[in-house]
Amino acid sequence: MIGFQVLARDGAARRGRLTTAHGAVETPAFMPIGTAGTVKAMTPEGVAATGARIVLGNTYHLMLRPGAERIAALGGLHRFMNWSYAILTDSGGFQVMSLAARRTIAETGVTFRSHLDGSLYELTPERSIEIQRLLGADITMALDECTPYPSPHEAVESSMELSMRWAERSRRAFVEQAGYGIFGIVQGGVHPDLRLRSVAKLVGIGFDGYAVGGLAIGEGQTTTFAVLDATVPALPEHRPRYLMGVGKPADLVGAVSRGIDMFDCVLPTRSGRTAQAFTRQGVVNLRNARHAEDPAQLDPECPCPACTGYSRAYLHHLSRAGEILGSMLLTAHNLRYYADLMVAMRNAIEAGSFAEFAAAFESAA
């Protein structure tokens, strides 16, 4: 079992500490995405230098290539990717559901064809948990179905109930070890009644943490926040809360104000590869011609290599020339921005000034 302490509160916002077999994670925390055993355009040392102490890997991609059994034989995912801190693994449910015509859902699990070579696979709750155990994940996620948005209430209800049955099977399949835990995933679309039923079922099963899934798939920020307002107060106070797949900086601040502790999203790394940088002055597109002769730093308040060693003009040049270094520098910068945002929120919660921080952040956005 993993440990979790709430060290300070300010309104619904929480500042905590998650303790795993591979070290402590200060919360609120953002997890860089390392889907296939690597955070794109980054070395593990570079990821750690941004301040990250937990990354996300993915069951679906790693089971297809290079294979969970192979990674286990090579010492587990931590050794395989040279990452000494914590790892959370997504169960693969979201990726499998996105295959659409390539998969079939049944009570037993999901049968699907690989997007790589068309090979046929079956992913059951038990197999998903086994793969995550072979990988050596500090935090394992229960297998769930991510319901498409929008969907009728009846379809969302059926999907949620299936996810809850899978959650029970996932929990039974999980092998308890000190420092390792399993999270259940709340489903129910944008319907508060279904979300609360999902929470009640998961709490009854008993998990080490609780994720809010099935959001950030097109419903918009207002709806996302409304779902959190209805869902988060029902989650256990003494367990970590994880909002999956979110999001933009303003989304993170708004979710922390509603009691969320953990996040993941492809946005900072994907943006880094497309020349978009998150700064304290707003989002900067370094492909724009106005940066071509700008000697200024990207963000004067940021200590990352992109900001301390290079000009906007040079970053613009790298982007326009398609140089790999541009993706590396901007990805590292964006991850540092997200990590610094987490630090700032933790500090504000400890100081009892989170509402003022959030208001100032919103006015500057």
Active site residues: 90, 264
Closest to 36 in 3D by CA, of 76, 64, 75: 64
SS3 183: strand
Sign of CA dihedral 204, 207, 208, 210: negative
Structure tokens at 108: 């037993």
Show the tokens assigned to 219: 């419903």
Q: What are the DSSP E strand ranges found in the chain?
A: 3-10, 13-20, 23-27, 29-31, 54-58, 86-90, 103-105, 110-113, 120-123, 139-141, 181-186, 209-212, 241-243, 262-264, 276-279, 282-285
Query: 143 in the Ramachandran plot: left (φ > 0), alpha (ψ -120 to 50) or beta?
Result: beta
β partners of residue 113 = 120
Distance between CA atoms of residues 217 and 180, nearest Å: 29
Q: Which residues make Cβ contacts (< 8 Å) with residue 305, sequence separation at least 6?
A: 329, 332, 333
3-class state of residue 5 by DSSP: strand
The sign of the dihedral angle between the CA atoms of 50, 51, 56, 61 is positive
Residues 6+ apart with CB under 8 A from 116: 64, 65
Q: Which two tokens stand for residue 351?
A: 């100081």
The whole-angstrom separation of Cα 346 and Cα 341 is: 9
Handedness of CA 141, 145, 147, 153 (dihedral sign): negative
Smallest Cα–Cα separation from 231: which of 205, 257, 207, 197?
Answer: 197
| Separation between Cα atoms, residue 148 and residue 159, nearest integer Å | 10
